[in-house]
Amino acid sequence: VPTLTRREQQQQALRRDVLDAALVQLDEGGPSSVNWRALARAVGVSPSTLYTYFDSLDALYTELILEIYGQMATEVRRTIVAEAPPAARAREAMAGYRRFAKQYPARFTLVFTDALPGYAAPAGGPTIDAQVAVMTPMIEALAELLGEANGDIETWSAPMRSRAVGAWSQLHGFVSLEVNHHLVWIDDLDAMFASMIDAMLAGISRRGPAGRAD
Amino acid sequence: VPTLTRREQQQQALRRDVLDAALVQLDEGGPSSVNWRALARAVGVSPSTLYTYFDSLDALYTELILEIYGQMATEVRRTIVAEAPPAARAREAMAGYRRFAKQYPARFTLVFTDALPGYAAPAGGPTIDAQVAVMTPMIEALAELLGEANGDIETWSAPMRSRAVGAWSQLHGFVSLEVNHHLVWIDDLDAMFASMIDAMLAGISRRGPAGRAD
């Protein structure tokens, strides 16, 4: 491990402080409140000095998105037991996806909706890999259920890919509707989520590797 | 129909102009660009005069959300043939839901995510009914498929409600991921959407009124 100079260490610490301040702003006021001037003030530098740490607001957003995907990937993996059967692993991954969104709705919304005016993630850039890392435990478990040899979904046959995207869609849609208060009329969301995921995984298992959408 | 005074007609026309200007701002710059000053300027009144037409920015947002749900409800119904079988009607409603989101991603995001900092829809207010109107054709078709007597989902048994919410979740999740550019790696999204919806409706029909999640 190369030793960082004192100056490099200070730079890293300040970048970390900026990202922490941005997470606080995001959680408290939504994406539009993540603000260059307020961030500079929060970490005690001038707005122009902040440019020595981040090239632009977009560069800062990209770091923020990477940070959030990283946190979400950790939460998705947290309760997975590597030796468990694939359906159980998929269930834990999906539960983690929901837990993260419920705990940090603004972070979830930021990374999954085009919430930042004028911001576009760099094409083919690091945010893609960071999102893949969130999905990998779920995709690897679905690969086993579907009889695909590996977790690289782009190599799967079209029907299998369609089922995996259908599963992700159902998970993502439920969680999005829930954290945005569109399911408040349902008494027991935990039970409904559990039964929905069970039915989804049972359907995938039943149709299995050679299954048809009959 | 009571006759409006000339002044009332002018007021209605200006309110309409403000909403149209807000839709343009939303489509072009996202939720955070819907701005009181710019709206006043767009319709040629002062910011303070605009308060004689809308009580507050929140009141304007509520009107805007009602307007968008109304447009979406129209699109959802547009291709439904009343005499068609329920699965065909559900399919058309879901296709309309997706068409609307793809054509107006900022409007779709506005009504389905908490995108407006500080805004909360009035509790039990008109935006609830407006969202129900979007969902009604789909829910009525699912009611027939599931053997429920009516389209009031809150009266359904828990398992049937769970299936309907599961269907909505899958639709909503796919569309949300698509319009936010998370499915760009898939070549033929139209075909994948169609096969996902077919499998969803086939699953609901197969399990039918007395079906179990086996």
Pick from A117, A191, A202: which is nearest to B29 by CB? A117
**Residue B211 predicted with pLDDT over 50:** no
Nearest CB partner across the interface for B195, out of A162, A177, A180: A162
User: Which residues of A fall within a CB distance of 8 Å from B112?
Assistant: 176-177, 180, 182
Instruction: Report phi then psi at A113, rounded to 5.
Output: -125, 155
Give yes or no for B35 touching A (CB within 8 A).
no
| Chain A, chain B: beta-carbon pairs less than 8 Å apart | 132
Q: Which of B165, B185, B201 to mutate to test the interface with A (most CBs of A within 10 A)?
A: B165
Which chain B residue's Cα is nearest to A28? Answer: B117
Among A69, A128, A168, A182, which would you mutate to test the B interface (most chain B Cβ atoms within 10 Å of its Cβ)? A182
pLDDT of B213 strictly over 70: no
Interface list for B 111-140 with A (CB within 8 A): 112-115, 117, 131
Closest CA to B166 of B193, B186, B140, B139: B139
CA distance B112 to B106: 10
Are A113 and B33 inside 8 Å of each other by CB? no
| Shortest Cα distance, chain A CAs vs residue B207, angstroms | 11
Extract the tokens encoding A65. 């998105």
Residue closest to B197 by CA, chosen among A170, A153, A198: A170
Q: What percent of chain B has pLDDT over 70?
A: 96
Q: Does A213 touch chain B (CB under 8 A)?
A: yes
Does pLDDT of B168 surpass 90? Answer: yes
Give the span between the Cα atoms of B141 and B137, in whole angstroms.
6
pLDDT for the residue B209? 54
Q: What does the mean pLDDT of chain A come to?
A: 91
Cα distance between residue A173 and residue A103, in whole Å: 17
Average pLDDT over residues B116-128: 81
Dihedral pair phi/psi, residue A46, rounded to 5° = -80, 155
> How many Å from the N-terminal Cα to the C-terminal Cα in chain A?
56
User: For the whole model, what pTM was predicted?
Assistant: 0.93
State the ipTM, two decimals. Answer: 0.93
What is the model's pLDDT at position A3?
83
Instruction: Say yes or no: A30 contacts chain B, CB-CB below 8 A.
Output: yes
| pLDDT tens digits, one per residue of B80-117 | 999 999 999 999 999 999 999 999 999 999 999 987 77
Q: Which of A203, A74, A193, A131 is nearest to B177 (CA)?
A: A131
Tell if the CB–CB gap between A162 and B112 is shorter than 8 Å: no
Give tens-digit pLDDT for B39-68.
Answer: 999 999 999 999 999 999 899 999 999 999
